[in-house]
Structure 1
Amino acid sequence: MAKKVLIIILSGERDKGKAIMALNLANHLGPDTRVIFFGESEKLAASGDSEISNLVTQLQERGIIPVACINYAEKSGIGTKLMELKYDLKPVSTVITDYLEQGYVPITF
């Protein structure tokens, strides 16, 4: 398995199970794991769902800070909530490109 894994979560509330699978996987991988919430998954992250919140907290306790797209968050009115939950808000297109250039292997959910 690749040592540097980039997990990109796109699934929203209708596909919450996929987001949970992604976060469970991220919590079982090494320290060179990165997680990005993009699009509808950002609304799920900001919703306060206890399963998602608990899994994200486990990541954060390991020093893995999830990134969310600042543009989507601002357009959706959830940027403040994601910042309160300690997500790192950045332009995701740049972040993904940077991780790929660093040799991260992407997996999407």
Structure 2
Amino acid sequence: MLVTFKSKASSEVIMFEHDAKRILDLLNKDVKIGVITAEEGAAAIARLEQETSESRAHPASDSVQHDIAAHHNAGGDDTGHEPVQTVNFASRIHPLLEMLREAHKHNNDVLWGV
């Protein structure tokens, strides 16, 4: 499933629901439908910038979590490893973060699910 973010300040941002959910959970927002108001913009930008910094400081943690989840399944543990994903969480946040910055600059809301 895809989530489309919209704002009058920039082009639409489309991302997979599981990526959008991870980002929106940081902002205490529902992935199905919602809004980040112009007033909430500064706090949302600060939170996502903080998460971006943490993700870049600990790049292996996302890959390790993915690898653990992939190999601890109902069939037991296997010994192979998943290939490292080249798109880290900081990169996934970037398009929405840029939209939020533009929306904040122009005092616009960011909407999704509408």
TM-score under structure 2 length normalisation: 0.28
TM-score under structure 1 length normalisation: 0.28
**Which of structures 1 and 2 has the bigger CA Rg?**
2
Bigger relative contact order, structure 1 or 2 (CA pairs below 8 A, ≥6 apart)? 2
